[in-house]
Amino acid sequence: MTPAKRTFLVLYIAVFMSSMGLGILSPILPAYVDSFATSSFILGIVFGVFSAARTLLTPPVGILSDRFGRRPFILLGLGLFTIVSPLYAMAANVYQLMLVRFLQGVAAAMLVPVAMSAIGDLSPRGREGFIMGSFTTAFFAGLGFGPLIGGFMSDRYSMTAAFYAMGALSLAALVFSVFALPRQPAGDGGEEIQERTSGVVSDSSLRSIVTDRAMVGLLFFRFTRAVGIGLVWVIMPLFAIKSLGISAFQVGILLSTNTFITTILQSPTGLLSDRIGHLKSLTAGSALAGAAIAYIAWAKSFNDLLYASVMLGLAGGLIVPAGSALAVTLGRTRGMGRTMGWYNSSLSLGTMLGPVIGGALLDLASVRAVFVSGSLLGLLGWLALILAFPARKDSEFRIPN
């Protein structure tokens, strides 16, 4: 096995196991946090500090990984995941729980974005969509299977057992990575990463990002897409249960349908994106996502929401690998860790603000206003992306004939 393939396999397993650990929290954390929180506002803060930590720390961690290498941050992230997991069970009050959530956000900032940077380093030109799409199946599959483990452990044993199971998965990923992850990955042709990324910009300031039209367009697209995800995962379940009388189990089916369709499609749509051009894939995915989110506003039954979930799954299949591939192409000249850091930070910011924006619109207007606004915002993000890449040729992103 070549060093590049070995690195891919190790990181795939590590990200799958860690995201499965995060997925374990999905069915049990809301009730667990509610037992500590004194108000809905405090409840929201406990959930929000995780995304806040990721938003703040992902860019600097990405920049540092460009300078000092990927491996130390990946191992440190897995180690912190391992330590933090049992602390959930040991938290005695809501403030300690906030600290635990923040520390887990720090761990997440070190792991997934840096792992994506490492895979981006190894991606051959013209195959970025396929490689990144194949890799992101690890994250989505872990999130899909994790809730099944968390629900089973909580029902069969206790919430505490589920927290320790999350820690055990992180520990297994850490031990495996320590022994199996190469110290200095090489590309497909065996060349060192430093050679493949020579000529990257050295300016890591916020000003260098703001004045970079391509980066701004990609990050704004990622942010608006994340706001839509936040609305679907937080506001839609509330709407489904309270307004349509749909059960919690049926809501779980809706969310799992979305996730698993996106997971299955990552590799084939990533390959398609390499062939037809990443901007075309993002355009098709944005149109589907915009239509699906708007359709939720007029949903009257479980079947209506199921149709929307299928459309969102298809949209995610088109958007995720193409967006990651576009980030890789920018990262080659701007710093892979730096680019992936900002790229993932924009995701965290969107998923953090999405429920806040949706909740405010829900209080001020109606559920229809929430999802119509989410749809329009996503299309605005797509427009910003297209305007940011007016001179790009599709041939830059295709596999050569």
In this model, does residue 239 exceed pLDDT 90? no
Identify the structural domains of the chain with CATH numbers, from first to last. Answer: 1-182 (1.20.1250.20), 203-391 (1.20.1250.20)
Asked whether 230 and 352 are in contact (CB, 8 A), the reply is yes
Position 197 pLDDT exceeds 70: no
- Residue 200's Cβ-count burial label (10 Å; 0-12, 13-18, 19+) is middle
pLDDT in tens, 99-148: 998 999 999 888 888 888 888 888 888 788 888 888 888 888 887 777 77
Q: What is the percent of the chain with per-residue pLDDT over 90, rounded to a whole number?
A: 25
Contact assessment for residue 275 and residue 399, using Cβ atoms and an 8 Å cutoff: yes
Please check the confidence at residue 198 and state whether its pLDDT lies above 50.
no
Q: What is the DSSP string of 276-324?
A: H-HHHHHHHHHHHHHHHHHHHTT--SHHHHHHHHHHHHHHHHHHHHHHH
Q: What is the pLDDT of residue 130?
A: 85
Q: Could you tell me where the beta strands, DSSP code E, fall in 99-252?
A: none
Per-residue confidence at 357, pLDDT binned at 50, 70, 90? Answer: confident
- In the prediction, which pLDDT does 392 show? 52
- pLDDT at residue 300 in the model: 92
| Helix extents (H) in 26-93 | 29-34, 40-68, 71-90
Euclidean distance between CA atoms 70 and 61, whole angstroms:
10
**How high is the pLDDT of residue 99?**
93
Residues 136 and 266: beta-carbon distance below 8 Å = yes
Q: Which residue has the tokens 């050679």?
A: 195
Whether the per-residue pLDDT at 209 is higher than 60: the answer is yes
Maximum Cα–Cα distance across the chain: 62
- Among 239, 219, 220, 256, residue whose Cα is nearest residue 371: 239
Residue 84, pLDDT score: 92
pTM across the whole model: 0.75
The model's confidence at residue 400, banded by pLDDT at 50, 70 and 90, is very low
